[in-house]
Amino acid sequence: MADRITLKGLRARGRHGVLPAERAEGQDFLVDVALDLDLSAAAKDDDLTKTVDYGVLAGRLVQVITGEPVDLIETLADRLVEVCLEDERVQTATVTVHKPHAPIPHEFADVAVRLRRGRAER
């Protein structure tokens, strides 16, 4: 599918991680989302109801990030991709969760997990 909606750099504070300090103090997570879907009807009719409202989607994703803590960002990414696929028009969703302040005792630029899921895989 050639049509895509992307949302990059969505930032929210969560308490995800396996270390007690990660749960107690929390940290910022950055999320990138790409949704593959047919946008022709929305474009033709100039109608928001015929596409994914990315403002609403961002709010739902932030609720997951700031919600119930999980140990792994793999689990967080899975929860986020499921939110994206709740809209029946989305054929494929790709979610990348960045954890820029992961507790790694060495200098690093980023840690991220990327999941790509399609409607058929649900």
Active site residues: 99
What tokens does 112 get?
A: 């991220």
Indicate the DSSP class of residue 67: S
Strand partners, 115: 95
Exposure string (b/e) for 11-32, b if CB count within 10 Å is 16 or more?
ebebbbbeeeebeeebbebbbb
Question: Strands across the sheet with 4-14, in order?
Answer: 4-14, 27-36, 92-98, 112-118
